[in-house]
Structure 1
Amino acid sequence: MVDNYLNEETLEWRELLMIHKFAVDEMRTRLNNLDEEFQTMHDYNPIEHISYRVKNPDRIREKLERIGFDPTVENAKEHLFDVAGIRIICAFTADIFDVFKMIEAQSDLKILQVKDYIAAPKENGYKSLHVHVQIPVYLSKGVIETRVEIQLRTIAMDFWASVEHKLYYKYKGKSPTTIQAELKECADLISELDNRMYTLKKLILCLENNSEEVCLNDLYVDEYFKEA
């Protein structure tokens, strides 16, 4: 009886991971199509690169326990949005919202939730746009609507988040106050860098059709270059 129960539980976890892998594969195809379309048909591609993952069972159980739920397959289905995850890296913050609009335009994709940590960063300085979507996965037994979390970040935001993530696990979520303060300061510097790089992009585009004087006096060009 115990062996049968364990086998059944194992099969449930395998099915959960399989379905979420299929959801990632489906979303991956759609995003790759957008990426290729922009590379082929347009002068500018807002997508720098894309990464994908499905959480392993240990990470799923760990997160469920951390947020106060028993580590079961049913609780994973009901309470977690990020069993399947996709990260889209863009050069500029404006690109993030352009890519989001393309995702939002897909009629059979349901947007469940949007968390805008760019407009309202987390206390530690974390910035990203989190989009929770529901995508149809087609199996022999029918259609399974499956959740996927899509994170959209700039290159600079992704660098900061990668370092912060390593420190989080090194200190088990309780890093020293000095490190927390340094991370927050770095997040502010990265935010300024993103803004300056976007201003530089706007200046370059303006210079393609106008004189430098016109561009530097353009209301859309920041004070950075006027001071130079």
Structure 2
Amino acid sequence: MEPDPAPLLSTRAIEALQRIDPATLSEVQAFRDDFARFIMPYKFGIDEVSTKVSILREEFAELHDYNPIEHIASRLKSAESIEQKVIRKNCEPSFEAIRDAITDIAGVRIICSFVSDVYRVFQLLTAQEDINVLRVKDYIAHPKPNGYKSLHVIVEVPVFLSDGPVRVPVEVQLRTVAMDFWASLEHKIYYKYEGEVPEEILRDLTAAAGTAAQLDVKMEDIHRQVRGDGGSQYALPISV
């Protein structure tokens, strides 16, 4: 038998709920249900892409002498993050408009050992028949002014729900370990200073991005020497 949920609520919470107008409470519940229906396909989209990447990772681990994928992470934007982006993009506050305007609600991050691995994994993932590439931003070939590097890809994957399949956009970020370390540090610094980062720290961050890029180049050169091959470069197969 399921436990009575009432004891899980504090007396204050119960009293607050009792003071809310029933019609308002009904509207809040309806919104929660609508949001759950809206966000669920994005969660499943993350599952689809993560599974595909995990399969590639396991195949390389079992059948090849080298695995280009270090690790995988994912995130689903919160309601608050979606709301903030709706405001920044001046988007109509409806689920239909949000679905069309915001393509990074679901996100998967793939961390690779070397730059060539980033493009290799990109090619292997996007070559799959049920993946549709919507947009690519190559911040590795064209870094942001602050030094940020990463390969951003918006892909569309099918999610099969009880009432039929839907196509869900998922943002996939591919980067090296060095790029990921730098991006993680930058995020923490911007969070600490609430976006108002002192100029000297910004200069140091940009310089550190250059150091990380040099490290990537040097480590890939060593990797090629160890493997005794040319370390084939993987070019993007589509225009970016």
* TM > 0.5 fold call: yes
Pairwise CA RMSD of aligned residues?
A: 1.7
Residue 34 (structure 1) aligns with? 56
Identity %, equivalent residues: 44
How many angstroms apart in 2 are the aligned matches of 1:122 and 1:5?
43
Where 2:165 maps in the other structure, the secondary structure is strand
TM-score (norm 2): 0.82
Post-superposition shift, 1:17? 1.9
The residue correspondences of 1:169-184 to structure 2 (distance < 5 A) are 169-184=191-206
Where 1:51 maps in the other structure, the secondary structure is strand
**Equivalent pair of 1:96/1:152 in contact (CA under 8 Å):** yes
The residue correspondences of 1:1-228 to structure 2 (distance < 5 A) are 1-206=23-228
Q: Which amino acid aligns with 2:157?
A: I
Post-superposition shift, 1:7? 2.8
**Equivalent pair of 2:133/2:153 in contact (CA under 8 Å):** yes
> 1:68/1:179 Cα in 2 relative to 1: closer, same or farther (>3 Å)?
farther
**Equivalent pair of 1:133/1:147 in contact (CA under 8 Å):** yes
**Equivalent pair of 2:108/2:171 in contact (CA under 8 Å):** yes
Post-superposition shift, 1:3? 4.0
> 1:170/1:73 Cα in 2 relative to 1: closer, same or farther (>3 Å)?
farther
How many angstroms apart in 1 are the aligned matches of 2:175 and 2:27?
42
Post-superposition shift, 1:113? 0.3
Q: Which amino acid aligns with 2:168?
A: T
Question: Aligned pairs, how many?
Answer: 209
**Equivalent pair of 1:23/1:84 in contact (CA under 8 Å):** yes
**Structure 1 spans left out of the alignment, 5+ residues:** 209-217, 221-228
Q: Which amino acid aligns with 1:30?
A: K
TM-score (norm 1): 0.87
How many angstroms apart in 2 are the aligned matches of 1:63 and 1:169?
17
How many angstroms apart in 2 are the aligned matches of 1:170 and 1:66?
21
Moved more, 60-69 or 92-101: 60-69
Where 2:72 maps in the other structure, the secondary structure is strand
Deviations 1:116-147 (A, max 9, x none): 00000011110000010000111111111101
**Equivalent pair of 1:60/1:71 in contact (CA under 8 Å):** no
